[in-house]
Amino acid sequence: MRNGARQAFRRFEPGIWVLTAIGFLNVAGFSISVPFLSLYLYQERGLSMTMVGTIMLISGLSSAVTQGFSGALADRFGRRPLLLGTLLVSGLVYASIAVLISAATPIVIIVIVYTVGRSVVMMMRPAITSIVVDLAPKARLTEAFGLLRVGQNLGWAAGPAIGGYLLGLYPYAWLFGFAGFTSAAAFITVFFLMPESLGKGTEKADLRGLLSPAKDRSFLTLTVFNLLLFIVMGQMVSTLSVFAVDRAGLSTAQYGFLLTLNGIIVVLFQYPMSRAVSRMSRATALMLGSIFYGIGYLFMTWAGAYALAIMGMIIITVGEIIFSPVTLAAVGDLAPVKQRGHYMGLYGLSETLGISLGPMLGGVLLDAFPTNALPIWGVITLLAFAAAIGFGFWGGRPFLKGGQSQ
C-alpha cells in the first residue's frame, strides 16, 4: 500500500502537489465568505436580486479583463511573482471587507472594494493553470487538473460548512476575516515551497501578444461554447443560494450542506473520474459534462423537497467533475509552449465573464418569475444543452488542432 501511495505521489511533480494545497486554501477562503455575500446584500441590505446580479456582473467583467491580461504577464515575468502579489492583495481585500461590513459602511464602498479586490485576486488563476501545463506531461493533463480540483474542492467542502456555522454565531464580517487568514497561509506556502516553473524564452506582454490566441480558430470556437456553460456554472454562487433559502424555504445550514456535498463528491471522485474521462475524446467528455449540468439544475425546480435538491446537486457535481478538468486540458493541448499564459488568461477571461453573467441572468429570472421555478431552471438547462451541442460541433471540425485525444 505504501509503494502504491508513493507511486501515485511520484506521478506528478512536487509543484503540482503544492498547487493543490494552495487551491485548498484559496477556495476555502472564498467559499467561507463570498457565496453568502448575495444573501447579505439581499436580506440585510435590501437590494433586489437584479441589483445583486448586476454587482456580480460588474465585478466579473472587471476581473475578466485583468485575468486576461495577467496571462501575458505570467508569460513575461513568471508565474511565482504573480502568485505572491495577488495572494498578498487577496488577504488585504478580505480584511478590508470585514472591517467595512462590521462598520456598516455604505454599500457602494463595499461593492467598490470587492470589485477592485476581485479584479486583482483573479489575476492569479492563469499563473496557476499555466504552472500545471508547465509541469504535467501532456498525456496526464486531465489527471493533473483533476488533482488540482481535488484540493480546491476540499476547500469548497470545508468552507461553506464553516461559513454556515460561523454565520449562525457571529456577524457576517467574521467570514471575510477568516478568509484573510487563508490567503496569508497560501502566501507563505508559495513563498517557501513554489519555485518558478517558467522556462527561458518568453513572449512579451504587449497587446498583440495578449490577443494572439483569438487567431486560433479551434481555441476561439471552444471558448464560445465554454462561455455558455460558464453561465450555467455561475448559478451556483448567487442564484442557487437565494432560490434555495428565500424561495424553496431551505435553511442556510441546509444550503451550506448542498455546497459541502458538492465538495465531498469532487474530493472522492474527481481524480478517478479524470483518469476515466482522459480515455474519451475531449469533445465527448465536454458534451457529457454539459448534459449532466443541465439535468441537475432542472432538478432544482423542485428544491423545496430537500431530497430532490440533494439529487440535483449530485447530478450537477457529476457534470462538474467531468467538464472542469477536461476543458482546461483542452486549452493546454492547444496552447503553444511560449503562450501558455496567454491562452490560460483568455480562457480565464471567458470563464470569469460567463460565471459573472450567470448571476445577472439568474437575478433577472428570479425577479421575473417570483412564484414559478420552472422557467428559471428551464432556461439554465437549455443553455447547458446548447453548450453540449456546441462541443459536438467543435469536436467534429476539420480545423481542430492536433490529435490531442479528439
Give the C-alpha distances (Å, rounded to integers) separating 286 from 142, 185, 348: 12, 34, 17
pLDDT, tens digit only, all 406 positions of the chain: 455 445 556 778 888 999 999 989 988 888 777 767 777 788 788 888 778 878 877 887 888 888 878 888 888 888 999 999 999 998 998 889 889 888 888 888 988 888 888 888 888 889 999 999 999 888 889 999 999 988 887 887 777 777 777 777 777 788 888 888 899 999 999 999 988 887 755 555 454 566 678 788 899 999 999 999 999 998 986 789 889 988 888 888 888 888 878 878 888 999 999 989 988 999 999 999 999 999 999 999 998 899 999 999 999 999 999 999 999 999 999 988 888 888 998 898 888 888 878 888 998 999 899 889 999 999 999 999 999 999 999 987 644 443 343 3
Spatial contact of 148 and 140, defined as CB atoms under 8 Å apart: no
The confidence score (pLDDT) of residue 246 equals: 85
Question: What is the signed CA dihedral for 149, 152, 154, 156, rounded to 10 degrees?
Answer: -120
| Cα 158 to Cα 392: distance, rounded to the nearest angstrom | 36
Cell numbers 494572439 correspond to 212
Comparing CA positions, the residue from 47, 74, 384, 1 lying closest to residue 246 is: 47
User: Phi and psi at residue 254, in whole multiples of 5°?
Assistant: -65, -40
Q: Write out the H or E segment, with its range, that includes residue 117.
A: helix 107-121
| Cα 377 to Cα 370: distance, rounded to the nearest angstrom | 13
Q: DSSP states of 319-352 as a string?
A: HHHHHHHHHHHHHHHHS-GGGHHHHHHHHHHHHH
Compute and round to an integer the Cα radius of gyration of the chain.
Answer: 20
Find the length of the chain: 406
Spatial contact of 263 and 157, defined as CB atoms under 8 Å apart: yes
Cell numbers 469536436 correspond to 395
Angle of the 217-233 helix axis to the 373-395 helix axis, nearest 10: 160
Domain ranges of the chain: 8-194+206-395
| Cα 217 to Cα 222: distance, rounded to the nearest angstrom | 8
The confidence score (pLDDT) of residue 7 equals: 57
The confidence score (pLDDT) of residue 6 equals: 59
Phi/psi region, residue 46 (left: phi>0; alpha: psi -120 to 50; beta: rest), is left
| Positive or negative: CA dihedral 192, 161, 105, 49 | positive
| Cα 70 to Cα 348: distance, rounded to the nearest angstrom | 10
DSSP 8-state symbol, 213: G
The confidence score (pLDDT) of residue 87 equals: 93
Give the distance between the most distant pair of CA atoms in the chain.
Answer: 59
| Cα 337 to Cα 198: distance, rounded to the nearest angstrom | 10
Cell numbers 457534470 correspond to 319
> Which residue blocks in 34-106 are alpha helix, DSSP H?
37-39, 49-77, 79-102
Which residues, 6+ apart, have CB-to-CB distance to 170 below 8 Å?
none
Report the topology of domain 8-194+206-395.
Growth Hormone; Chain: A; (1.20.1250)
